[in-house]
């Protein structure tokens, strides 16, 4: 089995030098200077039950600070506050990104039994030189065990948040090593630290990872989200993952449309085999790139037993592990570096398409990140439509949309098919796309719409222009996974394709929008995207 993996050089293919690696972005961690305005917090867990107590850990250089807790959504609601809490600096390990901060508990929030299930922001504020300085943490409130489940439960993409969170200096993409131009990822990340600035709150109008502008000839790639983050002191990854960019816009739209949601986290999926019990529809939104095998187990069982999955998300890609009572996420990506690879190859932390994992990603979601990838991101398909082309207009998801074969919806400047997309190996017959099944896609998968996608950016500027997703990275991943037995779908000048697809398994079914940026259509009130979303939620709101 191990002979399918390249020995060591494959890791170096993931460490190319590109301008976005320059350390110009805000890396948050205590400076040791008491004259600097510092204020960060984290809760001891991601999710809680009514009646629980949320212990919050704070580091601040302020003499005192205030706290307010909001249930965020269409109508943000204040539920708790405290003023004039005494500030304290806390010693923080240099490797807090993997070891955790180890801060003492600063205050506790008692959860009232009347608080609704939802996403709660813990907003800290201090005064510094006549200005108000804020930072935030979060927690998720599950429904009360005694209450009846709502039809819909939104599962928040906390594992992907962990992967992109660079608070403390590193994440699953970069931060290690002495060369600031070389990306070396941290394979072990702690949940016991604050969340990087921008993942929980962003001001209105913040650029997204996808680029809505269609350039003319002589294009030099731009990454507006990274440029904005650099100028305004936010994390490089502020728009790459989690609540402010993805789940929040969906929740605002859903609540305004009258959908009543319960909330869970991916960690709840991992820890509780029964957490989806009683729900009709589990919803995933935005960027859900990282999963444990246990999380997939819960979703597979849910669908097999009659549940429905509405996935308005993209980039289903990596297997991770949780250790130390769920407080540490492990992802080596290069399987040869994972200490358990030889003894437990199926639990190795790498891409789901790896043959030794024996569990193709398409088996759970129908589509995978390696078969899709980028659109409208830097130098990837910069002049594509940014929308999906319809191929099966008679499918139930398109009912009453007035969409015809070949129509495009959600196109630029809306861009619903943008940033990162998922697909499968496919072929065309009589003008219609069909999955080949060569990558583990379900036999009854229906591809109903498509968008072009490429594996990454080609550097035509010899390193002089920032590149966000080098194509060489994906080629390196393919070599890592398959060695000299690379499947035909990944050979030659291969391209991916973003897709919307559905399939049924057991007594349940899955709708997969196959794009991180489906919420763009909801943010901009695109009538086609909104109607399709209604069709999915209304159909999936009850079990068969």
Phi then psi for 92, rounded to 5 degrees? -125, 125
CB–CB of 468/397 below 8 Å?
Answer: no
Give the pLDDT score at 11.
37
In 342-484, beta strands by DSSP E = 368-375, 388-390, 408-409, 419-423, 426-429, 432-435, 446-453
Three-state DSSP class for residue 540: helix
Q: 93 pLDDT exceeds 60?
A: yes
Give the pLDDT score at 517.
98
Residue 189's alpha-carbon distances to 207, 210, 422, in angstroms, are 27, 27, 26
Query: CA 139 to CA 101: how far, in whole Å?
Result: 17
CB–CB of 382/219 below 8 Å?
Answer: yes
Query: CA 528 to CA 520: how far, in whole Å?
Result: 12
Mean pLDDT of the region 60-65 = 97
Beta strands at 152-156 and 261-265: parallel, antiparallel or unpaired = parallel
Question: Domains of the chain by range and CATH?
Answer: 2-28+156-206+221-540 (no CATH), 39-148 (2.60.40.1930)
Mean pLDDT of all residues in the chain? Answer: 93
CB–CB of 467/20 below 8 Å?
Answer: yes
Contacts of 462 (CB under 8 A, 6+ apart): none
Give the pLDDT score at 181.
67
Distance of CA 186 to the CA centre of its chain: 18
Instruction: For residue 449, give the DSSP letter.
Output: E
Per-residue pLDDT tens over the stretch 493-531: 889 999 999 999 999 999 999 999 999 999 999 999 999
Mean pLDDT of the region 262-291 = 98
Q: State what percent of residues in the chain have pLDDT above 70.
A: 95
pTM of the predicted structure, to 2 decimals: 0.94
Query: CA 391 to CA 387: how far, in whole Å?
Result: 13
CB–CB of 440/363 below 8 Å?
Answer: yes
Residue with tokens 């399709």: 532
Per-residue pLDDT tens over the stretch 280-338: 999 999 999 999 999 999 999 999 999 999 999 999 999 999 999 999 999 999 999 99
Q: Helices 527-540 and 247-256 meet at what angle, rounded to 10? A: 80
**Closest-CA residue to 537 (of 148, 155, 152):** 152
Report residue 403 as tokens: 């969409």
Q: 13 pLDDT exceeds 90?
A: no
Per-residue pLDDT tens over the stretch 460-499: 888 888 788 888 888 888 888 888 888 888 888 889 999 9
Contacts of 20 (CB under 8 A, 6+ apart): 223, 226, 236, 466, 467, 468
Q: 424 pLDDT exceeds 50?
A: yes
Give the pLDDT score at 9.
33
**Closest-CA residue to 328 (of 484, 460, 191, 217):** 191
Count of C-beta atoms within a 10 Å radius of residue 310: 23
Report residue 256 as tokens: 């305004």
Give the pLDDT score at 23.
52
Per-residue pLDDT tens over the stretch 507-517: 999 999 999 99
In 27-117, beta strands by DSSP E = 39-43, 47-48, 53-60, 64-71, 77-86, 105-110
Contacts of 256 (CB under 8 A, 6+ apart): 74
| Side-chain half-sphere CA neighbours of 178 within 13 A | 0
Phi then psi for 422, rounded to 5 degrees? -115, 155
Give the pLDDT score at 464.
81
Query: CA 41 to CA 30: how far, in whole Å?
Result: 12
């Amino acid at each position: 089995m191990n002979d399918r993996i390249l020995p060591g050089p494959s890791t170096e293919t993931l460490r190319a030098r590109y301008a976005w690696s320059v350390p110009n972005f805000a890396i948050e961690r205590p400076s040791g200077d008491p004259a600097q305005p510092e204020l960060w917090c984290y809760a001891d867990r991601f999710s809680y039950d009514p009646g629980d107590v949320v212990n919050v850990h704070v580091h601040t250089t302020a003499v005192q600070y205030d706290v307010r807790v909001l249930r965020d959504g269409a109508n943000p609601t204040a539920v708790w506050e405290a003023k004039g809490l005494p500030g304290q600096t806390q010693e923080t390990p240099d490797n807090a990104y993997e070891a955790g901060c180890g801060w003492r508990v600063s205050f506790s929030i008692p959860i009232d039994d009347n608080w609704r299930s939802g996403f709660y922001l813990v907003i800290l504020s201090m005064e510094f030189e006549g200005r108000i300085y804020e930072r935030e943490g979060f927690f998720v409130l599950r429904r009360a065990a005694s209450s009846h489940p709502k039809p819909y439960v939104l599962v928040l993409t906390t594992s992907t948040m962990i992967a992109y969170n660079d608070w403390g200096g590193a994440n699953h993409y970069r931060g290690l090593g002495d060369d600031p131009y070389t990306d070396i990822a941290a394979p072990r990340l702690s949940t016991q630290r604050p969340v990087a600035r921008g993942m929980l709150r962003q001001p209105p109008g913040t650029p997204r990872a996808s680029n809505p502008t269609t350039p003319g000839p002589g294009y030099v790639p731009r990454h507006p989200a990274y440029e904005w983050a650099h100028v305004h002191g936010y994390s490089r990854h502020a728009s790459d993952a989690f609540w402010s960019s993805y789940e929040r816009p969906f929740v605002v739209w859903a609540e305004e449309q009258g959908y009543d949601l319960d909330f869970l986290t991916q960690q709840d999926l991992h820890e509780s085999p029964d957490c989806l019990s009683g729900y009709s529809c589990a919803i995933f939104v935005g960027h859900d790139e990282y999963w444990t095998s246990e999380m997939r187990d819960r979703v597979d069982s849910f669908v097999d037993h009659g549940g429905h999955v509405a996935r308005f998300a993209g980039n289903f890609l990596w297997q991770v592990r949780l250790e130390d009572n769920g407080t540490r996420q492990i992802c080596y990506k290069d399987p040869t570096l994972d200490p358990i690879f030889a003894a437990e190859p199926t639990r190795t932390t790498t891409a789901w398409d790896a043959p030794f994992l024996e569990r193709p990603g398409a088996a759970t979601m129908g589509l995978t990140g390696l078969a899709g990838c980028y659109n409208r991101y830097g130098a990837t398909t910069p002049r594509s439509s940014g929308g999906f082309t319809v191929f099966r207009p008679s499918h139930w998801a398109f009912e009453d949309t007035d969409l015809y074969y070949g129509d495009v919806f959600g196109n630029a400047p809306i861009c619903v098919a943008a940033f990162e997309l998922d697909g499968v190996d496919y072929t065309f017959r009589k003008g219609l796309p069909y999955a080949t099944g060569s990558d583990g896609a379900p036999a009854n998968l229906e591809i109903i719409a498509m968008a072009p996608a490429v594996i990454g950016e080609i550097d035509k500027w010899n390193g002089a222009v920032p590149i966000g997703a080098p194509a060489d990275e994906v080629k390196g991943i393919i070599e890592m996974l398959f060695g000299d037995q690379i499947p035909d779908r990944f050979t030659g000048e291969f391209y991916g394709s973003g897709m919307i697809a559905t399939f049924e398994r057991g007594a349940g079914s899955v709708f997969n929008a196959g794009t991180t940026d489906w919420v763009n259509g909801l943010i901009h009130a695109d009538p086609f995207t909104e109607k399709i979303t209604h069709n999915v939620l209304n159909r999936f709101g009850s079990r068969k």
